[in-house]
Amino acid sequence: MLNSTSSPLTYFILGAYMDVGRLRYLYFLIIAVLYIIILIINTLMIVVICVNRSLYEPMYMFLCSLFVNELYGSSGLFPFLLVQILSDVHTVAAPLCFLQIFCLYSYVNIEFCNLAVMSYDRYLAICYPLQYHIMLTHYKVILLIIMIWLYSFVKFLITLLLTVRLTLCGNVLNSTFCRNYLVVNLACSDTRLNNIYGLFGTVLTVLVPLLPILYSYIQILLVVLSGSKQTRQKAFNTCTPHLASLFNFCCLFESLHSRFDMITVPSELQIILSLYFVIFQCLLNPIMHGMKLTKIRNACKQLFWNKLINDQLLT
């Protein structure tokens, strides 16, 4: 432990890692395989959308932003985990820890905001099909995407600046990765501003995306209930992946666990749930949103089919 009169903090110790012996190599292999799969499928979805002009529509542009965010969030966590799993001393340099906090927290905010604009897109497509391309032009889509990323970066840059200014009296984080609230808990200086902004930021992270999501799907539900069977089927096919992504309960658990001492929850379960929101969201989103959509599936088939034909012609 450090005290307030010591030199500036240069590293943190991650106290949630346990000595698992040779099992570390199994965990390393599992995490590495998951990371490679996430990189491949998200990159594939981005390439398919970017090279296929028929996918230059609002829904697919929002999906592309979502897939870029999955690469961003997973890259902020997986390489770090791989190093820590094989390491005997679980320490992390303070600048790297603060960088990881910024990446992971902004990732979550971008994720929720992306889901909000995607629900708004489906609301316009189902409730106003004739005016859809007038109400949601390419310019508006690009502007919305820029606002999502800029808003998330600025919001958590302020969070990070408030944390960096604190004087810390310890350097042990009971976690497998860096989390802002645990760092703030180590402070021996005044943290009231951090706590107020942190609570305000948590509410914004959830409430700002949740309101348009609820409004959009309530309106969609009203149209679906009064529409034809074909309308209901179309709405169900396009909205099911979006709704599935909303049940990311582990983000809520992570927020609650950070602010309340949940000593009754086994530490192993805490670790699994705290990692879920990055690992499985990054893995499942391109499958639920990408491969479930007929246009993307056809574009993937066409891309690989053309590549196969070209390779055969060259040989």
pLDDT in tens, 138-185: 899 999 999 999 999 999 999 999 999 988 888 898 888 898 888 998
Binned at pLDDT 50, 70 and 90, residue 6 comes out as very low
Q: What is the dihedral of CA 234, 236, 238, 240, to 10 degrees?
A: -170
* Torsions phi, psi for 11 (to 5 deg): -155, 160
- pLDDT of 33: 93
pLDDT in tens, 216-236: 888 887 877 776 666 666 666
User: What residues contact residue 23 under an 8 Å CB cut-off, 6+ apart?
Assistant: none
Strand boundaries in 50-191, DSSP class E: 91-93, 172-173
Read off the pTM: 0.84
Distances (CA, A) of 70 to 89, 106, 156: 29, 11, 18
- The token duo for 150 is 């800029």
- pLDDT of 146: 96
Are 249 and 201 spatial neighbours (Cβ–Cβ below 8 Å)?
Answer: no
Distance from C-alpha of 304 to C-alpha of 299, rounded to nearest angstrom: 9
| Residue 256 CB burial class (10 angstroms; 0-12, 13-18, ≥19) | exposed
Q: Which residue has the tokens 């005290």?
A: 3
Q: Under CATH, to which class is 14-314 assigned?
A: mainly alpha
Are 163 and 98 spatial neighbours (Cβ–Cβ below 8 Å)?
Answer: yes
- Mean pLDDT taken over the chain: 80
Between 32-46, 49-63, 242-256, the lowest mean confidence (pLDDT) is in 242-256
- pLDDT of 168: 87
Between 43-57, 262-276, 280-294, the lowest mean confidence (pLDDT) is in 262-276
Name the maximum alpha-carbon separation found in the chain: 72
Domain boundaries, the chain: 14-314
